[in-house]
Structure 1
Amino acid sequence: MSENNQLRDVFDAIADPTRRRLIRLLAESAEMPLHELTVHFQMGRTAVSKHLAILKDAGLVTARKVGRETRYRLNPTPLKQIQDWVAFYSKFWSTNMLRLNQLLEEEEE
């Protein structure tokens, strides 16, 4: 799925703390079935499944059937959009920190 064809915005998909936690769990494991993911949350399988569907729509998660269970895997490629966005603004913080450092050094003198 290409960036332009994604059904859901990656930023929207990671906006929810539950989905960010799902991403973290999947990043720490090669692949996990729904029942293993569900034990990490105080919600039912249906709710976790809905969060996974949102991540899947954004291209962040892939799913494959193994017998009767669905196994989920992280696809980190769309996270690059977030990294690029944050990198753009990190220039702002670097510049401001440099200015603050210069100001503090001037006050010390």
Structure 2
Amino acid sequence: MDDQTRLELEAAAFRRLQKHLMEDRTDVQNIDMMNLAGFCRNCLGRWYQEAAAERGIEMSKDEGREAFYGMPYADWKANYQTDSTPEQQSAFKESFAKNVENQTP
């Protein structure tokens, strides 16, 4: 497979993941994704922002999130985010420390 085809397939898979998380499974909470998989929609927005920075494109955290969410993060939270339980918050602290704080981009 040539590099261009691989790149196009990777982009298509990313777009499908984005659609799945943003349209098909809005019921799945970010905190549950983070606790179970070690990443969430916010991580994907951050990775988008980091990829832009690697290419010399300035992008804020909010702009990266909006690029992934397809809307301002505040709108997503208002429409889809539910309150988390103390147990979810505790698990999140551990997962965030393991998967985000101790990671180098």
Task: Using structure 1 for the length normalisation, give the TM-score.
Answer: 0.27
- Greater helix fraction, Structure 1 or Structure 2: 2
Greater per-residue strand proportion: 1
What TM-score do the two structures reach when normalised by structure 2? Answer: 0.28
